[in-house]
Amino acid sequence: MKRFTGNIDAKTDVKGRVFIPAAFRKILQSEEDARLTLRKDVYQDCLVLFPASTWEKELTHLRSKLNKYDEEQQQFYRQYILDSEIVEMDSSGRILIPKRYLQMAGIAGDVRFVGIDDTIELWSRNKLEQPLMDSETFKVNVRKYLTN
């Protein structure tokens, strides 16, 4: 299983293209996952890149939990798909991030790539200047999740 780790700063150009960091690109190329799916994160103002194989697993898992003959569940699945877009790395290792996604995540030039398991998150670098949670909450969560 591929696992992306680390955070790397980059810049988008005026067209919204950005180089995928070499460390992440190497993993994607070794897995032959040049086709990526981009979607806005459900909870945070960031974008998530899913390698093709990870996206397929995500959809298979989601579909297994939903009944396509239940109207509400089918609408949810449809919305989940509608909020995603396929992006491909060019020969230089760049992807084009559509403007609407840049706006959704508040990315205007400076972007931070963050490896999160089998996906890559793209954040506005300004949003990650401060920790995502205060140090006391982090300590409580360390004790809660890492000491058992």
Per-residue pLDDT tens over the stretch 122-144: 999 998 888 888 899 989 989 88
Written as six digits, the tokens of 17 are 């293209």
Strands of the chain (E only): list them.
4-11, 17-19, 35-40, 47-51, 84-88, 94-96, 110-117, 119-124
Q: Of residues 147 and 64, which shows the higher confidence score?
A: 64
Per-residue pLDDT tens over the stretch 75-134: 999 999 999 999 999 989 999 999 999 999 999 999 999 999 999 999 999 988 888 888
- Check the CA dihedral 17-21-22-25 and report its sign: negative
The domains located in the chain, with CATH, are 4-146 (3.40.1550.20)
Residue 148 has pLDDT above 70, yes or no: no
- Residues 93 and 21 sit within 8 Å (Cβ to Cβ): no
Q: Label residue 31 by pLDDT band (50, 70, 90).
A: low
**How far apart are alpha carbons 86 and 132 in whole angstroms?**
28
Q: Label residue 30 by pLDDT band (50, 70, 90).
A: confident
pLDDT at 2: 78
Average pLDDT, the chain: 92
Residues 6+ apart with CB under 8 A from 92: 19
**57 three-class SS:** helix
Per-residue pLDDT tens over the stretch 61-78: 999 999 999 999 999 999
Distances (CA, A) of 50 to 4, 28, 120, 135, 137: 11, 10, 7, 30, 29
How confident is the model over 2-25, as a mean pLDDT? 93
**How far apart are alpha carbons 31 and 51 in whole angstroms?**
9
pTM: predicted TM-score of the whole model, two decimal places: 0.89
Q: Which residue has the tokens 């180089």?
A: 19
pLDDT at 1: 62
